[in-house]
Amino acid sequence: MSNARILVNPRLIRLRHAQHYIAVARLADNLYIAGDQLSSRGITLFDRDRINLDTARQWLQTHAGDSDVDALLVADAEATMCIGNLRYLAHYERIIQLDTALGAAQRLNHRHMQANFLGNLGVALAGVGSTRPAITEFEQQLVLACDIGERRSEANALGNLGLGYANLGDIRQALWYYQQALTITQEIGDRRGEENALNNLGNGYVDLGELHQAIAYYEQRLAIAHEIRHRHGVAQTLGNLGLAYAALGDISTAIMYHQQSLAFMRKIGDRRGEGSVLGNLGLAYEALAEWHRAIDYYQQHLMVACELGDRRGEAHTSWNLGRVYVRENRMNEALPLLEQHVAYARAIGHPNAELDAAMVEYLQQYGMWPQGRLDMEQILQELEPLLHGIADSINGDSELRREITVALDDLEGQGWMLREPVERIWAGDRNHTELIARLDEQDRLIIEQVLKLITDKAIEWRYTNLHSSV
């Protein structure tokens, strides 16, 4: 009997292993895109073999630069183009995957795939708050798409640019891009692309407060999503309609749409989407003062957020649930949740973190929320980062203004009325008397402090430039 050894090529085995699981991922992605019950089958298939695909990808990424490996890196990103957005975390997985695939496509001169990866990488960057780098990727995508005459990719780039400018707060510019994308998708018969463009237009008009126009676009999108059996599109649009009707004050209709959205999210296994809808249902029932039902939905959202490791969703829902527990006089359950929210807000440097902390501290000491607002000296100290941000943004930093607007909306929920005078300041109004005319004493002190900071910064700028020119 021969003792001859069988020679094994480890590299070839690794490549074949990767090829096999990329093929599985491509099948899963196609099933997911097909919609209806096939979407669930695609997700189940992907989840079953994901660990093998991830292991193969990690090996490929460490051997990038080899032409065979580069081809598989491109194939991997292409095979997970849609389902990857659902299943991979942008921070830890998606950005690395797409950036590596983009490099591989560039080395192989696959220009069509370069355009696709630029767009997807931009979306992932935008998802983690890196809006300006995302816009740079979208602009490169648009140039390349036009250069190679790929109209579908051109429409995709235009839609992505709209999303980028919406994140910067420039909604009119975003709508212009969305409309261009819609025109192209209709011309080339791209129904999925048309669906996305209509959804973006709806979101843009929500941001402008033109809710009936937004609903009209959402309804058009919903019809197409049903037609092409895109169940995730149906689920998302139903949720958007719920939010729009809630903003109109029609809570019953909002709940109807949220319930339908929840059913679809559960059918397709989108846990993150399910959590979001559960939170929206909690808000809706809270608006109706149905506290026990609000608690039930907040608890379900909290469970999903914890399961997914979604710290932002967990912190946000902890605060909402804690507030309702306070209303129900369930302090022992409320305080840990409120403190969890404060810890997260501090960790990410949220401008309202210290104000929220002070309110929780007051609640611990007195067993109730502060009836007025806390000592103004303490408030000014706690809001100092926000006030400096307002003063720093007067020259038109739209991304900073968007962050500040979110913080001001949070403060309005606590009784402050600062957004309107701040927006007037951003528009150039410096008339002290008119800016504070309709404000109470504490709001007036805040706006006066903002105006003082603006004046101080202007004097400092003039002084610095005067001496630098000497």
Low-confidence ranges of the chain (pLDDT < 70): 1-7, 35-37, 90-92, 129, 348-352, 371-378, 395-397, 441, 455-470
Report phi then psi at 314, rounded to 5.
Answer: -65, -45
- Separation between Cα atoms, residue 334 and residue 172, nearest integer Å: 41
Contact 278, 235 (CB under 8 A): no
CA distance 132 to 155: 20
Closest CA to 270 of 244, 242, 299, 234: 234
**Contact of 344 with 312, CB cutoff 8 Å:** yes
Instruction: Answer yes or no: are the C-beta atoms of 302 and 314 closer than 8 Å.
Output: yes
CA-closest candidate to residue 147, choices 113, 117, 112: 112
pLDDT of residue 350: 67
Strand partners, 64: 66
pLDDT in tens, 87-115: 887 666 888 999 999 999 999 999 999 99
Q: Amino acid identity, residue 52?
A: N
pLDDT of residue 63: 94
Nearest CA to 55 among 100, 22, 104?
Answer: 22
- CA pseudo-torsion sign 93, 94, 96, 101: positive
Confirm if 195 and 225 have CB atoms less than 8 A apart.
yes
- In this prediction, residue 104 carries a pLDDT of 96
pTM of the model: 0.65
